[in-house]
Amino acid sequence: MSQRLLHVIRSVNPADGGPVEMLKQSTESLVRMGHCVETVTLDDPQAPWLKNFPCPLHALGKGGSIYGYTSKLVPWLRRNAQNFDVVFTHGLWQFSNVGTWWALRHSKTPYSVFPHGMLDPWFRDAYPAKHRKKAVYWRFLEHRVLRDAAAVIYTCEEERRLGRETFRPYAAREKIVTLGIAEPSHDPIRCRDVFLSQWPSLRGKRLLLFLARIHPKKGCDMLIEAMRKVEHPWTIVMAGPCADEGYLRELKDRSTDLPITFTGMLEGEMKWGAFGAADAFILPSHQENFGIAVVEALAAGVPVLLSDKVNIWREIEADGAALVEPDTVEGTANLLRRAQSAELDTMRLAGPRCFRKRFTADSCAGTLLDLVEPSKRDGVAL
């Protein structure tokens, strides 16, 4: 039976990283299965990234301030919620999240919350001043959003375990929905040539790909320092958007004497070409609730080097597709050393098997539907 699903998210700008890619991938799978999916976003209706999104979009105008407040969201949801079987809201600490709660808390249409790692205690320790503000906001408002949700959806067991530890009071109907992507359909040889034609200086080099937002939590600075600790054959491709130009300049200044190429954000054929050209993929994050780029690397048959703060590391290591070390400079250096002597060919074969076993978009979509269908059948919340 066809289901009607609505997503609410602050922005669908691909530069925002994994949650947006997860939304696109699961939507494409659900639409292929014959379900109706729509998305409400607080983006400006003229934003260029709204084009070619895989479902109808309702852009309610750029929300004011960093909080994203807009007076349009709550009335829109109250008018339209009855047209959907369930609503999913993405992220915390935004009006898109609280507005969904305010509009639907007494509605017959249930809503569920994807925290997307935003309850991880790493943020508390890394940004204590911000945490104090969030703690006040949590006590007066945000905890109610989770308490009243039909489900609070974590992407793996580790994210759920960590999510319980940071704020009080905490009450949630916890569920786990593992994220995923579609099976890559690109021509890997052609995409590789497209990438190397754009970056010809990388031809013939042994490439280590970092593909993520350029952000302190991703361990970019550790990767640079780790390169100084090893006799390395690696050339690093550091690919991803950066919202902080000062931080990006600092990283470039610190790496002028190292074989590191900053490419900016890569999408489409260029992104898959970078995977195709890479000998391995690295993500030494301090905090990563899931890691869509990790799954993309697995699907592309690229061995992955991870910190133990990438929450899906246990599953991937168990399948023989990853090397894992602590999220320290020495741990990152150990990844570089181990990858020089590891059987990377074996890991290349293990990656796609791990992907198909655990991380396909159709599997993710099916698990979401498992949450929705009982609520329709029984006439109760999820």
Q: What CATH number did the domain enclosing 176 receive?
A: 3.40.50.2000
Q: 120 and 198: one domain?
A: no
pLDDT classification of 382: cutoffs 50, 70, 90: very low
- Contact assessment for residue 106 and residue 63, using Cβ atoms and an 8 Å cutoff: no
Q: 236 — phi, psi (to 5°)?
A: -95, 130
Q: 203 and 124: one domain?
A: no
Q: 151 and 215: one domain?
A: no
pLDDT classification of 272: cutoffs 50, 70, 90: very high
Q: 157 and 24: one domain?
A: yes
pLDDT classification of 231: cutoffs 50, 70, 90: confident
pLDDT for 368 equals: 83
**pLDDT single digits (tens) 45-86:** 999 999 888 899 999 987 667 788 899 999 999 999 999 999
At 283, which helix (H) or strand (E)? strand 280-283
Q: 266 and 164: one domain?
A: no
pLDDT classification of 345: cutoffs 50, 70, 90: confident
pLDDT classification of 178: cutoffs 50, 70, 90: confident
Q: 125 and 216: one domain?
A: no
Model confidence, pTM: 0.91
- Contact assessment for residue 4 and residue 35, using Cβ atoms and an 8 Å cutoff: yes
Q: 177 and 284: one domain?
A: no
Q: 123 and 197: one domain?
A: no
Whether the pLDDT of residue 298 is over 70: the answer is: yes
- In angstroms, the CA 317 to CA 8 distance is 33
Q: Range with the lowest mean pLDDT among 146-150, 163-167, 374-378?
A: 374-378
Q: Is 322 helix (H, G, I), strand (E, B) or coil?
A: strand
pLDDT for 19 equals: 87
Residues for the chain: how many in total?
382
**At CB < 8 A and 24+ separation, what contacts does 242-245 make?**
242/213, 242/214, 242/215, 243/15, 243/213, 243/215, 244/214, 244/215
Q: 172 and 195: one domain?
A: no
pLDDT for 377 equals: 40
Whether the pLDDT of residue 322 is over 80: the answer is: yes
Q: 336 — phi, psi (to 5°)?
A: -65, -40
pLDDT for 64 equals: 65
Q: 318 and 366: one domain?
A: no
Q: Which residue has tokens 């780029």?
A: 293
- Contact assessment for residue 310 and residue 285, using Cβ atoms and an 8 Å cutoff: yes
Q: 21 and 149: one domain?
A: yes
Average pLDDT over residues 24-40: 91
pLDDT for 379 equals: 43
Instruction: Tokens for 121, please give them.
Output: 């205690």
31: domain range? 4-181+361-378
**pLDDT averaged over the chain?**
92
Q: Is the dihedral of CA 123, 124, 130, 135 positive or negative?
A: positive
Class of residue 106 by CB neighbours under 10 A (exposed 0-12, middle 13-18, buried 19+): exposed
Amino acid 362 reads D
78: Cβ–Cβ under 8 A, 6 or more apart, which residues?
103, 107
Structural domains in the chain (count): 2
Amino acid 298 reads L
